[in-house]
Copies of this chain bind each other. A is one copy, B any other.
């Protein structure tokens, strides 16, 4: 009577959900302030004041029927033009509004791309790199395609190119890149992107058809210590950029983002048309007409990254002091340290004794590690360090 797949996807408790519920229970027992919940990757800094101002200004300036009416499916033309110009200023590109398709956040953006690139009645493959955001698998499979995962390069969380090369086949439609990365907190270097582009260009020639990069970059603005995130369309022409303001403007619940389709992609008209059709049947009729206008007005508003950067460094230093090995925080709001035993589930279970709520790396396709999200109160991080030290001491650190 009901799709079994949908039922399982709608009811199976994720690890993060189970941890969350444990955290609620413990908070009731020992007090909220004594539970160190590093499990949830949700912005904890408020949206910039400018967002509120923009909403109020728009309500006062724009006629209600125009403001709350449907926009054309790709999004309000003026909004798209404004965003294109902002991208151009920052990355030296030359997009116009017609290169943008507004979406309900990055999740919708990437899934629209998966749907558009999934050819009818053939086997389609997408590739991503561990550690990776586990929803990719649900989204790709729901569109009728297969997701292949390149094992993690745990030396520095860049890419294992030898393994990657072996996985590319004539059925490969696209490669999903997520940098700054959830969960590793690492940014792919310019060398990594160049190498990736080189391999894909070779394989495109070999297979005689395009292989797209889908660049899922909701964390693009959240980078620390002067790191630069290479803008992939400048390195590889068949790139679709999927962006969201969920993290940069702390608006995850408002679902607002976009897809960039550069003029340079193979057969722009077919790709953009396919995206429009995919959005239509996934019933993403148009992205919120109010929030399209809001982000256009806030397009050059800087993200409030100071709090994240302070938290990231604080947690990193504490973990290293406690004896953990971990990449320095580069971007997003995650650290991905090595667990202190091979079995990351057992490790995270043991961490609960100290009310440390951590997510096993296996959930992201990378066993032996764990994710700690540091988009939480600074005091929580400060208070958690002694708990991490006690946990490490159990392992003789």
A21 within 8 A of B: no
| Chain B contacts for A277, CB-based, 8 A | 3, 5-11
Task: Determine the distance from Cα of A257 to Cα of B68 in the docked complex, in whole angstroms.
Answer: 14
Inter-chain contact A139/B281, CB cutoff 8 Å: yes
CA–CA, A51 and B58, complex, Å: 13
In the complex, chain B residues whose CB is within 8 Å of the CB of A42: 69-70
**When the two chains form the complex, which single residue of B1, B5, B118 contacts A266, counting CB atoms closer than 8 Å?**
B1
Contact B69 A4 (CB under 8 A): no
Q: Does A209 interact with chain B (Cβ within 8 Å)?
A: yes
Which of A10, A271, A278 has most chain B Cβ within 10 Å?
A: A10
CB-CB nearest in chain B for A124: B3
Residue total for A at the interface (Cβ-Cβ under 8 A): 79
Encode A17-52 as 1/0 by CB contact (under 8 A) with B.
000000000000000000000000011111100011
| Residue interface mask A92-124, B partner, CB < 8 A = 1 | 000000000000110110111001111110000
Question: For A138, what are the chain B residues with a Cβ–Cβ distance below 8 Å?
Answer: 280-281
Contacts of A69 in B (CB 8 A): 42-43, 250, 252-253
Residue among B255, B271, B274 making CB contact with A286, cutoff 8 Å: B255
Complex: A56 Cα to B47 Cα, angstroms:
15
Closest Cβ–Cβ distance, residue A83 to chain B (whole Å): 17
Interface residues of A in 44-92 (CB under 8 A from B): 44-47, 51-52, 55-56, 59, 63-65, 67-71
CB-based contact B254/A119 at 8 Å? no
Number of copies: 2
A288 located at the interface, meaning its Cβ lies under 8 Å from any Cβ of chain B in the complex: yes
Residues of chain B within 8 A (CB-CB) of A142 are: 281-282
Which one of B43, B46, B139, B285 lies within 8 Å of A105 (CB-CB)? B285
- The answer to whether B252 touches A68, judged by C-beta atoms less than 8 angstroms apart, is yes
With A117-B2, A119-B4, A253-B69 already in contact, the answer to whether A107 and B285 are too (CB < 8 A) is yes
Complex alpha-carbon distance, A45 and B66, angstroms: 10
Residues of chain B within 8 A of A1, CB atoms compared: 117, 119, 173, 209-210, 266-267, 270-271
Give A68 to B112 CA distance when docked, in angstroms.
Answer: 23
Instruction: Report A222 CB to chain B, min CB distance, Å.
Output: 16
> Assuming the A-B contacts A3-B119, A281-B139, A288-B288, are A252 and B70 also in contact, with contact meaning beta carbons closer than 8 angstroms in the complex?
yes
8 A–B contact pairs at CB < 8 A? A1-B267, A3-B274, A3-B277, A10-B272, A10-B274, A10-B280, A107-B283, A288-B288
Interface residues, chain A, with chain B CB atoms under 8 Å away = 1-11, 42-47, 51-52, 55-56, 59, 63-65, 67-71, 104-105, 107-108, 110-112, 115-120, 138-139, 142, 173, 209-210, 250-255, 266-267, 269-286, 288-291
